[in-house]
């Protein structure tokens, strides 16, 4: 406010305002001086006028005096009104909370109130007469001056938003500026006011957030949502999912009460509960039976709660239709029942175990095949029922179930009575199953087929005349041998066998071959295999041996050869060296046989 009540304060800061007030004052003084001059002239020439005009002069004197008095009173009232308006403008500008400022055409501050000075961050005395670029050098000040230039040059009001750092934190302001004009209509400055819109912006954000939340939980919610009044339970709104679930259009929904969505029996239960609980809707998840527009009843699970920030006290009911879930559960139970019937009535051998191999379930066919009760098998490791000779297959099975989702193979089982069974299986692993991962296996008893295959394989590997293994055994042995396995070979060849066949006949030759095969079989060890290489040549394969073992076997056969029973034959032997193949060992043994025969023939 002005320091002296006779001053006009903020009005003096308006460019051209002081001059306007000065001219207005001179005009008022003129209004007083002119009537006074008229009265003075009349008073001087009053005697002459009285002689001429008489009553007219008296009337003019009275009229001039009245005009002078009226002008003085009008001027006094006008000056009082202007003073009160100036005081009001001063109070609004200087004591108001909104920042207000006035600038001249050179963009220098002519007036700022306390709020505007605080916004700039300077004292009042430091702001007046200076530009924004002088007060706060930087890009923001240049932007403010550019905005001032637009307002002044284009004679247009401007408005922009700016963010200022205040002691209470960053605040957003909406600054509006309007051009000021002098008596000739030229732009002489601008007046600006700022309004703190931080709370409005926060309110807008909150409104948008609530609108987004409403859109998510109501409009976009795939579950039916019904909003109803807390007082009379009248339905206020329902989302599209509710319209589809209950079969009512939106207009019809707003004509219903929430109790109309319940089946008749449930509606009575709801009314009783509301009456006992002071019309409070049951909170939390509650199971009800609702009714569609078609009259069909269905099971639901509802969650009801207060709806915050609603214009009318309201509650929201979130509905989960359980009819589809119940139908799915019923279909799942029927499917499980049919699956159990198929597993239990089928011929396949079915088991289920965890990843550690502990049995969780076996069907009747598997328990019967092994001679156990199902209760006695549940909880035991599947390995307890695997035959010892099938350990390699069992280890392979266990590795496969841990690394593959599905696979198949062969397992050797032993029944309760000791009988060995061979099963061809397929398994599927479910590592993500709940509550625990498991493996589901299904098998067929392939014992008879396995025995038949073994018999065929054995027949293919045996010589029909002597019963010894054939060269096919050597091929199989070479494929199954390990790289560090040490084997030995003893090669036997009958001397003068062609002469024997020529002199005594082929039947005698066949008899000699059979007798030699029996001799080799009796002389060889339990793990050794007698192989007929062809004609009168045989070999004894020792899968695991030492040089001493091979040499000892060759010495025993040499003694039998010297006895001539059943015939005289030559011998050669060899032990595997490094990781050579079986054929190389046989060639070295055959080479020794030829050297021995040549040496014996040379000595004869």
pLDDT exceeds 90 at position 15: no
* Confidence class for position 277, pLDDT limits 50, 70, 90: very low
Q: Say yes or no: 251 and 371 in one domain.
A: no
Q: Say yes or no: 579 and 477 in one domain.
A: yes
Residues 506 and 497: beta-carbon distance below 8 Å: no
Select from 146, 164, 196 the last residue of a domain: 196
* Confidence class for position 379, pLDDT limits 50, 70, 90: very high
**What's the pLDDT at 371?**
92
Q: Could you give the CA distance from residue 591 to residue 213 in angstroms, rounded to a whole number? A: 94
**What's the pLDDT at 6?**
37
Q: Could you give the CA distance from residue 427 to residue 464 in angstroms, rounded to a whole number? A: 41
Q: Say yes or no: 476 and 444 in one domain.
A: no
Q: Which string of b and e fits 74-92 if b means at least 16 CB within 10 Å?
A: ebeeeeeeeeeebbebbee
pLDDT in tens, 552-594: 999 999 988 887 778 889 999 999 998 899 999 999 999 999 9
Q: Say yes or no: 287 and 374 in one domain.
A: no
Domain holding 216, by residue range, is: 205-324
Q: Could you give the CA distance from residue 449 to residue 432 in angstroms, rounded to a whole number? A: 36
Select from 268, 289, 324 the last residue of a domain: 324
Residues 225 and 218: beta-carbon distance below 8 Å: yes
pLDDT in tens, 522-536: 999 888 999 999 889
Report if residue 509 sits inside a domain: yes
Label residue 534 left, alpha or beta by phi (over 0 means left) and psi (-120 to 50 means alpha).
left
pLDDT in tens, 291-338: 999 989 999 998 887 776 667 788 888 999 998 888 888 888 888 888
Question: What SS3 state is found at 102?
Answer: strand
Q: Say yes or no: 591 and 475 in one domain.
A: yes
Per DSSP, helices labelled H in 440-581 are 447-460, 471-480, 497-504, 506-523, 547-563
Q: What is the mean pLDDT of the chain?
A: 82
Instruction: Read off the tokens for 117.
Output: 């000075």
Q: Could you give the CA distance from residue 82 to residue 28 in angstroms, rounded to a whole number? A: 13
**Residue 458 or 140, more confident:** 140
Q: Say yes or no: 311 and 360 in one domain.
A: no
Report if residue 336 sits inside a domain: no
Closest CA to 146 of 135, 130, 132, 164: 132
Q: Say yes or no: 223 and 234 in one domain.
A: yes
Report if residue 331 sits inside a domain: no
Q: Say yes or no: 181 and 241 in one domain.
A: no
Select from 451, 478, 506 the last residue of a domain: 451
Q: Say yes or no: 306 and 349 in one domain.
A: no
Q: Say yes or no: 181 and 248 in one domain.
A: no
Q: Could you give the CA distance from residue 290 to residue 327 in angstroms, rounded to a whole number? A: 16
Say which CATH number the domain at 561 has.
3.30.70.270
Report if residue 415 sits inside a domain: yes
Q: What share of the chain is helix, strand, coil (3-state, %, to 5)?
A: 50, 25, 25
Q: Say yes or no: 599 and 474 in one domain.
A: yes
Global pTM?
Answer: 0.42
Of all residues in the chain, the percent with pLDDT exceeding 70 is 81
* Confidence class for position 280, pLDDT limits 50, 70, 90: low
**What's the pLDDT at 589?**
94
pLDDT in tens, 177-193: 889 887 788 888 888 88
pLDDT exceeds 90 at position 390: no
Report if residue 334 sits inside a domain: no
**What's the pLDDT at 1?**
37
Report if residue 390 sits inside a domain: yes
Closest CA to 575 of 537, 539, 548, 596: 548
Report if residue 186 sits inside a domain: yes
Rg (CA), the chain: 59
Q: Say yes or no: 87 and 163 in one domain.
A: no
* Confidence class for position 549, pLDDT limits 50, 70, 90: very high
Question: Looking at the DSSP assignment, which residues form a beta bridge with residue 448?
Answer: none
Count of domains for the chain: 5
pLDDT exceeds 60 at position 346: yes
pLDDT exceeds 70 at position 455: yes
Q: Could you give the CA distance from residue 474 to residue 550 in angstroms, rounded to a whole number? A: 18
Report if residue 2 sits inside a domain: no
Say which CATH number the domain at 310 has.
3.30.450.20
**Residue 159 or 461, more confident:** 159
């Amino acid at each position: 406010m002005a320091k002296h009540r006779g001053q006009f304060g903020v009005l003096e800061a308006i460019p051209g305002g002081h001059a306007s007030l000065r001219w207005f004052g001179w005009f008022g003084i003129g209004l007083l001086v002119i009537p006074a001059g008229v009265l003075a002239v009349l008073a001087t020439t009053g005697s002459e006028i009285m002689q001429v005009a008489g009553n007219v002069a008296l009337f003019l004197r009275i009229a001039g005096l009245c005009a002078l008095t009226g002008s003085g009173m009008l001027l006094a009232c006008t000056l009082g009104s202007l003073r009160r308006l100036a005081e009001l403008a001063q109070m609004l500008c200087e004591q108001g909370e909104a920042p207000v400022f006035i600038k001249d055409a050179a963009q220098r501050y002519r007036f700022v109130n306390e709020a505007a000075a605080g916004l700039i961050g300077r004292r009042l005395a430091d702001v007046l007469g200076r530009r924004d670029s002088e007060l706060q050098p930087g890009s923001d000040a240049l932007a403010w001056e550019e905005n001032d230039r637009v307002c002044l040059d284009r004679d247009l009001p401007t408005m922009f938003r700016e963010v200022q750092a205040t002691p209470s934190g960053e605040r957003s302001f909406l600054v509006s500026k309007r051009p000021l004009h002098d008596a000739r209509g030229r732009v002489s400055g601008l007046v600006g006011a700022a309004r703190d819109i931080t709370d409005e912006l926060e309110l807008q954000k909150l409104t948008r957030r609530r609108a987004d939340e409403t859109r998510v939980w109501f409009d976009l919610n795939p579950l039916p949502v019904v909003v109803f009044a807390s007082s009379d339970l009248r339905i206020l709104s329902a989302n599209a999912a509710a319209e589809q679930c209950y079969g009512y259009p939106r207009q019809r929904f707003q004509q219903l009460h929430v109790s109309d969505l319940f089946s008749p029996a449930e509606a009575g239960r709801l009314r009783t509960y509301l009456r006992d609980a002071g019309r409070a809707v049951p909170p939390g998840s509650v199971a009800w039976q609702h009714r569609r527009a078609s009259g069909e009843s269905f099971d639901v699970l509802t969650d009801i709660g207060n709806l915050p920030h609603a214009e009318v006290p309201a509650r929201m009911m979130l509905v989960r239709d359980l009819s589809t879930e119940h139908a799915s559960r019923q279909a799942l139970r029927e499917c499980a029942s049919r699956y159990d019937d198929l597993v239990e009535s089928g011929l396949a051998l079915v088991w289920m175990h965890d990843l550690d191999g502990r049995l969780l379930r076996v069907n009747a066919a598997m328990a019967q095949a092994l001679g156990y009760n199902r209760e006695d098998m549940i909880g035991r490791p599947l390995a307890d029922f695997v035959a010892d000779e099938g350990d390699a297959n069992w280890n392979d099975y266990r590795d496969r179930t841990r690394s593959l989702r599905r696979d198949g193979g062969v397992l050797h089982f032993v029944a309760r009575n000791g009988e060995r069974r061979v099963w061809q299986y397929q398994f599927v692993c479910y590592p993500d199953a709940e509550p625990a991962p498991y493996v589901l296996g299904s098998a067929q008893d392939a014992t008879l087929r396995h025995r038949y295959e073994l018999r065929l394989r054995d027949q293919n590997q045996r010589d029909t005349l002597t019963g010894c293994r054939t060269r096919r055994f050597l091929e199989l042995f070479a494929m199954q041998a390990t790289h560090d396995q040490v084997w030995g070979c003893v090669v036997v060849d009958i001397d003068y066998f062609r002469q024997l066949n020529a002199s005594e006949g082929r039947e005698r030759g066949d008899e000699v071959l059979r007798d030699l095969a029996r001799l080799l079989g009796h002389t060889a060890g339990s793990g050794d295999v007698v192989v007929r290489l062809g004609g009168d040549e045989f070999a004894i394969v020792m899968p695991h041996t030492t040089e001493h073992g091979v040499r000892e076997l060759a010495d025993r056969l040499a003694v039998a050869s010297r006895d001539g029973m059943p015939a005289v034959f030559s011998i050669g032997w060899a032990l595997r060296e490094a990781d050579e193949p079986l054929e190389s060992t046989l060639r070295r043994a055959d080479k020794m046989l030829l050297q021995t025969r040549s040496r014996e023939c040379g000595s004869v």
